[in-house]
């Protein structure tokens, strides 16, 4: 995907902010006990599809929680539509993805820790 236009970035920002508020208020019913963060939103050039990246904290079942949220996409899209109806002509289709950046960072930290604990070999 190429660089996003200002219009795409602005629209993605609006969606990200409104979805973040929506997940903060109602996310517990979709993923009990999990803290859901909308880390990034990418919008297609025609603004018809929004790819939403979610990060889950305080849960061991992030993939299951994501699957449950994906099953509630139409409900979430409707609620988003009621929020952005004055800012957008159409409410984009939502596609949810797991943002595993935090897991990757933790994994890399563990690797670096192990490397630093290994005894150095003489030159």
Overall fold of domain 6-117: GMP Synthetase; Chain A, domain 3 (3.30.300)
Enumerate the H helices of 4-117 as residue ranges.
Answer: 6-30, 62-71, 73-84, 101-117
Place of tokens 């899209």: 77
Q: What are the residue ranges spanned by the domains of the chain?
A: 6-117
Q: pLDDT 10s per residue in the chain (123 long)?
A: 457 789 899 999 999 999 999 999 988 888 888 888 899 999 999 999 999 999 888 878 888 888 989 999 999 999 999 988 888 888 999 999 998 776 777 778 888 888 877 776 666
The rounded distance, in Å, linking the Cα atoms of 89 and 82 is 12
- In this prediction, residue 1 carries a pLDDT of 47
């Amino acid at each position: 995907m190429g660089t996003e236009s200002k219009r795409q970035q602005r629209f993605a920002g609006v969606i990200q902010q409104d979805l973040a508020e929506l997940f903060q208020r109602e996310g517990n019913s979709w993923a009990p006990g999990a803290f859901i963060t909308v880390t990034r939103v990418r919008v297609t050039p025609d603004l018809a599809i929004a790819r939403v990246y979610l990060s889950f904290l305080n849960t061991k079942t992030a993939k299951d929680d994501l699957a449950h949220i994906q099953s509630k996409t139409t409900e979430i899209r409707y609620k988003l539509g009621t929020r952005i109806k004055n800012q957008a002509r159409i409410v984009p289709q939502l596609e949810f993805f797991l943002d595993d950046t935090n897991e990757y960072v933790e994994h890399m930290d563990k690797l670096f820790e192990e490397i630093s604990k290994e005894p150095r070999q003489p030159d």
